[in-house]
Amino acid sequence: MAQPKTIDFFRCTRPIQDRFVAATTGGSPPAPLLFRSAPRTQAWVLLAMSGLLVAVATVLLVAGWGDPSSPLALHRRAMLSVDVLFFSAAAYCFVHAAAVLRSMEALPYRAGTYVFPACVVDASGPVLRVWPVVEAEGIERLP
């Protein structure tokens, strides 16, 4: 498969940026023939990790609660640092997931893959990857 041509959207001139945004919305020709929204799996994985880290930290906090013979009943410095580590990692995952979603929503076009009559554009981020249709070796329908 041929390597795509990469184009940084924000380094293009303003007329080219406006033309691409107008084309993706169907405001000017060529209108996209097909569109597939960019996956947000990275954000969902980060949010799941955040929830898992909070759950583990909560279990560690509750372990030994009310049992005076348990070594975990009193959190010493080492255990407090473990709690802080888990809650900090959970907060980082949550904030990073929000940043990923924010960066996708901040683009002037909808993040995704566009099929135009002359090319296929992967516009999942600010760097566009473009494959010309004339370089396609074959076309097949996926189930």
Task: Give φ, ψ of 130 to 5 degrees.
Answer: -120, 130
Residue 61's pLDDT is what? Answer: 80
Going by C-alpha positions, the residue among 106, 125, 124, 99 that lies closest to residue 47 is 99
**Mean pLDDT, all residues of the chain:** 88
Residue 102's pLDDT is what? Answer: 92
Q: Which of 53-57, 80-84, 120-124 has the lowest mean pLDDT?
A: 80-84
Residue 25's pLDDT is what? Answer: 87
Task: Give φ, ψ of 128 to 5 degrees.
Answer: -90, 135
Using alpha carbons only, how large is the chain's radius of gyration in Å? 24
How far is the C-alpha of 109 from the C-alpha of 25, rounded, in Å? 8
Quick one: average pLDDT of 64-74? 72
Secondary structure (DSSP) of 55-113: HHHHHHHHTTTT-TT-TTSS--HHHHHHHHHHHHHHHHHHHHHHHHHHHHHTSSS--EE
What end-to-end distance do the CA atoms of the chain give, in Å? 21
List C-alpha distances in Å: 77 to 54, 70, 89, 123: 19, 16, 18, 48
Quick one: average pLDDT of 41-67? 88
Q: What is the pLDDT of residues 86-143, one digit of tens each?
A: 999 999 999 999 999 998 889 999 999 999 988 999 999 899 999 998 877 777 776 7
Residue 66's pLDDT is what? Answer: 67
How far is the C-alpha of 78 from the C-alpha of 86, rounded, in Å? 13
Residue 53's pLDDT is what? Answer: 95
